[in-house]
A = this chain, B = another copy of it.
C-alpha cells in the first residue's frame, strides 16, 4: 500500500544569541540526521514546570544523543522584566535541566520573541518535533502524554532509519538503538 504524499515544512533556523548548558551554539542545520525536540517554555509557566520541562529532561536522558536532540527554548512573552538571562540561569541551575537551552531573541518591536514568531507558537509549553531532514512533523501546545510523544519519536526515528539515514554516531541504527529505555531494547528489523 503506497502512502499518501504530504507537504511538510523545513524548520526555520533558531534565533538565539545565548545558550545554556552547551559550549557552542546549537544550530538546526548541524542536527540533520537526528530527530529534534524543540521545547518552548517560560520559567514562570506552571504547566512548563509540571509537564513540559520534566518531559524534555526524560526524553533527553532516554534517547541516544546520536538519534534524538532535545533543545529548550526560553520564549519569553510575559513578565519580561523578571525572566531575563540571569533569572533563567539561576532557574536552570536549581532545576538541573541538562539539555541545551537557548534564549529566544527578543523582538525589537513587540512582545513575542523572534523564534516563537517564526514557528507561530501559540504559547508555552509548546513542543515542535523535527524529523531527520529538519522538517516540522509535530507542533503541539500544552501537555502531551509520554505514550503519544514516545510513539511520535519512534516513528520519526524509524522513518529515517528505513531510508538509510542516521546520526553521526557509528551505531545509530545498530542493535543499541533509540527506543532502548533503561529496561527494554527493541531488536532491529530483520
> B-contacting residues of A (Cβ < 8 Å)?
1-8, 44-46, 49, 58-59, 62-63, 78-79, 81-84, 86-87, 90-91, 94-95, 129, 131, 135, 137-138, 140, 142-159, 161-166, 172-175, 178-190
Complex: how many Å from CA A190 to CA B135? 10
10 contacts between A and B (CB under 8 A): A1-B164, A4-B173, A44-B91, A62-B147, A63-B151, A149-B150, A151-B157, A151-B178, A155-B155, A158-B158
Number of copies: 4
Complex: how many Å from CA A91 to CA B91? 13
Chain A facing B: main interface SS: loop
Complex: how many Å from CA A145 to CA B7? 33
What B residues does A162 contact at CB under 8 A?
158-159, 162-163
User: Do A155 and B154 have beta carbons less than 8 Å apart?
Assistant: yes
User: Do A179 and B158 have beta carbons less than 8 Å apart?
Assistant: no
